[in-house]
């Protein structure tokens, strides 16, 4: 029987900790499938940032650790206003990878749909216009998101002049020219079932930008109707 005799760096409250001698952690913002997100502040400029730290359980899976780093590199390479900006990538003192991103104030598209039920035609058109422009920029860099959904689409107010649509979480993205890699093994399904293109749901390794376009179509439908077009009681029935 293995006994845990010490807390890991990530097991404790990170409030007040400083990363890279410049990012002071203020509080926890939330947790996702791969890590915990913290609000940080740059010691020099005072700029707020979001810091995603990979969770303890994920460190046991080298492919996940590699994919986490790919999220940062994929997003930073695109450099588009519709893609969340990545500022830094490093490790905590005990080896937990983390990435520092721009801090966004606003709400995910999923919350907007939940509150309104369905969006207006004009609102939907503007959201989709920006979303598709950002996807086009990602695909131009050879990056496929593979998990596009309302939770990963963030709406940032622009101070009375509309809002900016931002795509988040490139955690399972891949380069379109990397057909089969150690991170993408044929038969492994990555993504969210309701938004998966058929080839993605089948676990094919050569998923390309068309899967993102399919997911965007599901998002468009959900904005207009207030619900996804396909649903089921369980994962297998849905697929």
Across 120-124, 147-151, 216-220, least confident range? 147-151
Whether the model clears a pTM of 0.85, i.e. scores above it, the answer is: no
Q: How many domains does the chain have?
A: 2
pLDDT of 120 reads: 97
Do 65 and 72 contact (CB within 8 A), yes or no?
no
Average pLDDT over residues 129-144: 94
Q: Where is the domain boundary, 74, 102, 130?
A: 102
* Residue 3 exposed, middle or buried by CB count within 10 Å (0-12, 13-18, 19+): exposed
pLDDT at 3 over 60: no
- Judgement on whether residues 72 and 143 belong to the same structural domain of the protein: no
Handedness of CA 91, 44, 154, 134 (dihedral sign): negative
- Judgement on whether residues 223 and 130 belong to the same structural domain of the protein: yes
CATH number at residue 162: 1.10.510.10
Q: How far is the C-alpha of 52 from the C-alpha of 133, rounded, in Å?
A: 26
Within a domain: 3: no
pLDDT of 220 reads: 98
Q: How far is the C-alpha of 222 from the C-alpha of 170, rounded, in Å?
A: 21
More confident residue, 13 or 88: 88
pLDDT, tens only, 34-82: 778 999 999 999 999 999 998 887 788 887 788 777 767 877 888 899 9
To the nearest whole percent, how much of the chain has pLDDT over 70?
82
* Kind plus residue range of the DSSP H or E element containing 52: strand 48-54
pLDDT at 12 over 70: no
pLDDT, tens only, 16-27: 999 999 999 999
Within a domain: 206: yes
pLDDT of 159 reads: 80
Q: Where is the domain boundary, 102, 127, 148?
A: 102
> Does 208 qualify as catalytic in the annotation?
no
Structure tokens, 61: 């899976």
pLDDT, tens only, 194-208: 898 888 887 777 788
Range of the structural domain that residue 75 is part of = 9-102
Mean residue pLDDT of the chain comes to 83
- Judgement on whether residues 86 and 148 belong to the same structural domain of the protein: no
Q: Active-site residue among 63, 90, 94, 147?
A: 147
- Judgement on whether residues 88 and 132 belong to the same structural domain of the protein: no
Average pLDDT over residues 118-139: 97
Structure tokens, 68: 């986490």
């Amino acid at each position: 029987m293995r006994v845990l005799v010490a807390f890991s760096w990530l097991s404790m409250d990170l409030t007040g900790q400083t990363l890279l001698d410049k990012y002071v952690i203020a509080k926890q913002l939330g947790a996702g499938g791969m890590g915990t997100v913290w609000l940080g502040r740059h010691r020099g400029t005072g700029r707020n940032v979001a810091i995603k730290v990979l969770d303890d359980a994920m460190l046991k899976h080298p492919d996940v650790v590699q994919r986490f780093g790919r999220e940062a590199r994929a997003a930073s390479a695109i450099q588009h206003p519709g893609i969340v900006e990545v500022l830094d990538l490093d490790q905590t003192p005990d080896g937990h990878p983390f990435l520092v991103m721009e801090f966004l104030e606003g709400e995910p598209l999923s919350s907007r749909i939940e509150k309104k039920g369905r969006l207006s035609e004009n609102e939907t058109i503007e959201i989709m216009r920006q979303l598709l422009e950002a996807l086009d920029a990602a695909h131009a860099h050879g990056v496929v998101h593979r998990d596009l959904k309302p939770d990963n689409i963030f709406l940032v107010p622009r101070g009375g002049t509309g809002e900016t649509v931002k795509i988040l979480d490139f955690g399972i993205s891949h380069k379109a020219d990397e057909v089969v890699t150690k991170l993408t093994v044929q038969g492994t399904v990555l993504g969210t079932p309701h938004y998966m293109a058929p080839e993605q749901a089948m676990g094919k390794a050569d998923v390309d930008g068309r899967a993102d376009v399919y997911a965007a179509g599901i998002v468009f439908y959900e904005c207009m109707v207030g619900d996804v077009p396909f649903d089921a009681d369980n994962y297998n029935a849905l697929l």
